[in-house]
Amino acid sequence: MIKTAIRFQNDIVVVFDKKGEQIPKYQGKYEDVKESILKDAPLEAVFAHWRDYETDIRPVSKAEW
């Protein structure tokens, strides 16, 4: 189950489950994985952007992600 989805500035996405393990089937280029992530993510999933590789990841709404 998707817990966290992070979109990087280069449009690569990484996704983690509630144990902190990566979920490879949801990872890759944003345009390639976006639809399946948004469809499969539960309401409590956290979406975030990590732009400019700053020290903090910025949480965003599912709609903004």
Q: How is the chain split into domains, by residue range?
A: 4-52
d(C-alpha 15, C-alpha 38), whole Å: 12
What's at 35, amino acid-wise? E
Averaged pLDDT for residues 10-39: 98
Averaged pLDDT for residues 27-39: 98
Q: Examine the pLDDT at 56 and tell me if it is beyond 90.
A: no
Q: What is the pLDDT of residue 52?
A: 80
Residue 51 structure tokens: 């732009």
Report field, pTM of the whole predicted structure over 0.95: no
**Cα diameter, the chain:** 29
Model confidence at 51, in pLDDT bands (50, 70, 90)?
confident
Residue 40 structure tokens: 């499969």
Residue 11 structure tokens: 């449009």
